[in-house]
Amino acid sequence: MSRAPRARVRPRDYQVEAYRWALERGRAVVCMPTGTGKTLVAGLWIEALLKTGRARRILVLEPTRFLVEQTASYLAGKLGLPARPLHGSMPRGARERAWRAPVVVATPEIVVAEWSRFLEAGFEALVVDECHHTVGQDPYRFVVSNYDFKYRLGLTALVPPSRRREIEEGIGEVRCWPWSHPSLSRYIPAWAAEIYESPLNEAEWRLYEELERLWDQAEGRDRMLLGNAIRWYVRDGAAALRESVERSRRLHSLLEGLGGLIRDPSVRDAHKLGALRQALESHEGFEKAIVFVDRIVIARIIAERLAGYGVAEILGRRHVEPREALERAHSPSVRLVVASSAGEEGIDLPEADLLVLWSNTASPLRFIQRLGRILRPRGSGQKFVAFLVTPDTVDVDSLIDGIAQARRVGVYVPVDDETVRRLVEVSRRRRFLDALYERPMPADMLAQYLRVRPERVEASLRWLAERGYVGYIYTPYGRVYYPLDSPGLVRRHYGEYLEPQPGVEAGIQASCRGSTRPRALKRAGYERALAYIEGLLKRCGPLEAVRATAFYVERGVMRMRILSYNHLIPDTEVARVVVDNIYAAPRHAV
């Protein structure tokens, strides 16, 4: 039997067993519970094919560009495989470079759209993540059916009985490692989180951009009202926005010029409905699911269009009598419970094993209350929470904030840090980060570059700094921001403000992560300060902030400059940027 490839991540016994089993068969489907490391199984399988020369080019299909980026990053960064992401949001040149990689991680939609380029590339092997999609007219099915891959590997957390035959015909023999399997049961969390993207179509995106443009130009109460309108639209759906416009004379007046777009038939009432169906179908065997939605009009649409599941509505006393609604929700004939905020505290359904959060919220109280509906113990089976999110909009920001707030008050949310970072990739704040990757710059210059209001830039940079995505240095132009994972950029463009000056001393306070008491260094020179900060990093890990008071003599007068770096200092490279900037104080003092 072949030895497991040397992955940078140590595989568990069941993962080695699964990849070897799949490799022996050539065409196989590995079914494992969410959170047990199916991507590592795929990585071991890919590495074995490449190393033995059985395959030179391997295609990995993922259902969303969010998962494309995440999987490509994992395969390349964690496993050292030559993998590159490929999806429709990438510019043409980047897509062309991606097609040349030995391992291409792509959405099925981009493969179908660039079919001739795909055929030119020539692939011997295929990995299909979420392979329960390979049925019907789905682009997944098109790729699987219209190209003769010699080796095929499917990955899924659940093989729906109604799709098993089709999946086996398209990919290969199915083998499941259930949650009760003795070698992996101890690794399975009590509940697992999944993220489903609900992208806007072309017409919906035009409306979103127009709403954002009006919001950028508005002031005061109008700005607040337009901000709410944007959230209602991307969080809940166009039906919620239309209802709000009809009810609010002021909002109707503000959006009068967008009437044609708002009423455009191409703008769907509830754009997340497809993602909801996908979540339900992915968990075909669920006992009972709860869907939380903020707007009654959207809840009614869900109940009407998914009536086949047997639906109960818990929408508050004004809409449905609570006792009757709860009795119906407990009925064995009801598999889908659609609840508004009225159900956040009132639903007690321990039999529910799937929770879908349609309307994302940044409120920690509401976030926790909703999770509480699914986390009540019953039996020993695993439970799932599905977050539906509209990429590239404020909806992603709300989800990220909700996860962060829940963690801050001690609620475990099984969404790993890498997944959160990938969420930022599809958040509205991503464009601020993209601009800084081109060149570090002050907030006011960034506002001019992106043509957005300065206060919006300031708020976004503060958010990114608090969460460890950007850092900054002091210059005569104010704070210059840079991506925290690319400190070399700020050295290249603003190196003169990172040159320690002779005679400068500084007193420094540093805050370790998780510690309430800052560590202090009394007034000291550069070498001692740098050694102190680097020593702290080794002892307590990433620093949450550094504050310094720099002392230097200028024209015979003792000067004092107070500097605060309220952002993550994750490693020695960023620490050196901070310390160098402190001791370059005479150069950036105004």
The DSSP result for 368-411, as a single string, is HHHHHTT-S--SS--EEEEEEE-TTBHHHHHHHHHHHHHHHTT-
- Average pLDDT of the chain to the nearest whole number: 86
Domain residue spans of the chain? 13-188, 189-427, 431-588
- Given a cut of 60, is residue 262 above it in pLDDT? yes
Q: What is the per-residue pLDDT for 566?
A: 93
Bridge partners, 192 (sequence order) = 384
Domain 13-188 has CATH 1.10.3720.10: no
- Given a cut of 90, is residue 285 above it in pLDDT? no
- Tokens representing 359 are 């309307």
List the single range of 139-148, 420-429, 459-468 with lowest mean pLDDT. Answer: 420-429
DSSP one-letter string for 195-261: EEE----HHHHHHHHHHHHHHHH--HHHHHHHHHHHHIIIII-HHHHHHHHHH-HHHHHHTGGGHHH
Q: What is the per-residue pLDDT for 565?
A: 96
Q: Residue 533: what residue type?
A: I
Q: Residue 348: what residue type?
A: D
Bridge partners, 524 (sequence order) = 506
| Residue 358 near residue 390 (C-beta atoms within 8 A) | no
List the single range of 182-186, 197-201, 327-331, 361-365 with lowest mean pLDDT. Answer: 361-365
Residue with tokens 């001690």: 410
- Section 484-504 average pLDDT: 93
- Section 292-300 average pLDDT: 92
- Given a cut of 90, is residue 345 above it in pLDDT? no
CA dihedral 5, 7, 13, 19 (to 10 degrees): -50
Q: What is the per-residue pLDDT for 320?
A: 61
Q: What is the per-residue pLDDT for 4?
A: 46
- Position 1 confidence tier, pLDDT thresholds 50, 70, 90: very low
Q: Residue 205: what residue type?
A: W
- Position 267 confidence tier, pLDDT thresholds 50, 70, 90: very high
- Position 319 confidence tier, pLDDT thresholds 50, 70, 90: low
Q: What is the per-residue pLDDT for 33?
A: 73
- Given a cut of 80, is residue 575 above it in pLDDT? yes
Q: Residue 421: what residue type?
A: R
CA atoms within 13 A on the CB side of 515: 16
Residue with tokens 């043509």: 451
- Section 352-356 average pLDDT: 85
- Position 92 confidence tier, pLDDT thresholds 50, 70, 90: confident
Listed in sequence order, the DSSP H helices in 53-114 are: 65-73, 92-99, 108-113
Distance in angstroms (rounded) separating the CA atoms of residues 25 and 151: 9
Positive or negative, the CA dihedral 442, 443, 444, 446 is positive
Give the Å distances, CA to CA, from 153 to 26, 51, 129: 8, 17, 8
**Angle value at C-alpha 460, between 195 and 564, nearest 5 degrees:** 120
Nearest by Cα to 39 from 69, 513, 52, 57:
69
- Given a cut of 60, is residue 365 above it in pLDDT? no
Distance in angstroms (rounded) separating the CA atoms of residues 225 and 252: 11
**pLDDT one-digit tens code per residue, 229-248:** 999 999 999 999 999 999 99
Q: Residue 314: what residue type?
A: I
Q: What is the CATH number of domain 189-427?
A: 3.40.50.300
Instruction: Name the residue with higher pLDDT: 183 or 489.
Output: 489
- Position 2 confidence tier, pLDDT thresholds 50, 70, 90: very low
* Number of other CB atoms surrounding residue 249 within 10 Å: 9
| Residue 215 near residue 223 (C-beta atoms within 8 A) | yes
Q: What is the per-residue pLDDT for 317?
A: 57
Distance in angstroms (rounded) separating the CA atoms of residues 57 and 49: 9
Highest mean pLDDT among 398-402, 409-413, 423-427: 398-402
**pLDDT one-digit tens code per residue, 495-512:** 999 999 999 999 999 988
- Given a cut of 80, is residue 180 above it in pLDDT? no
Instruction: Name the residue with higher pLDDT: 521 or 430.
Output: 521
- Pairing state of beta strands 151-156 and 470-475? unpaired
Q: What is the per-residue pLDDT for 348?
A: 56
Distance in angstroms (rounded) separating the CA atoms of residues 68 and 490: 29
- Tokens representing 412 are 């475990």
- Given a cut of 50, is residue 346 above it in pLDDT? no
**pLDDT one-digit tens code per residue, 14-65:** 999 999 999 999 999 998 876 678 899 999 999 999 999 999 999 999 987 7
- Section 101-106 average pLDDT: 96
| Residue 95 near residue 110 (C-beta atoms within 8 A) | yes
Burial-class residue 163 by CB neighbours within 10 Å (0-12, 13-18, 19+).
buried
- Section 269-298 average pLDDT: 89
Percentage of residues of the chain with pLDDT beyond 70: 87
List the single range of 84-93, 162-171, 409-418 with lowest mean pLDDT. Answer: 409-418
Give the Å distances, CA to CA, from 133 to 90, 108, 282, 283: 23, 10, 8, 12
**pLDDT one-digit tens code per residue, 536-549:** 998 888 898 999 99
- Section 255-264 average pLDDT: 91
Comparing 13-188 with 189-427, is the CATH topology the same? Answer: yes
- Given a cut of 80, is residue 421 above it in pLDDT? no
- Given a cut of 80, is residue 181 above it in pLDDT? no
Nearest by Cα to 357 from 292, 419, 416, 304:
292
- Spacing of C-alpha 564 from chain mean position: 29
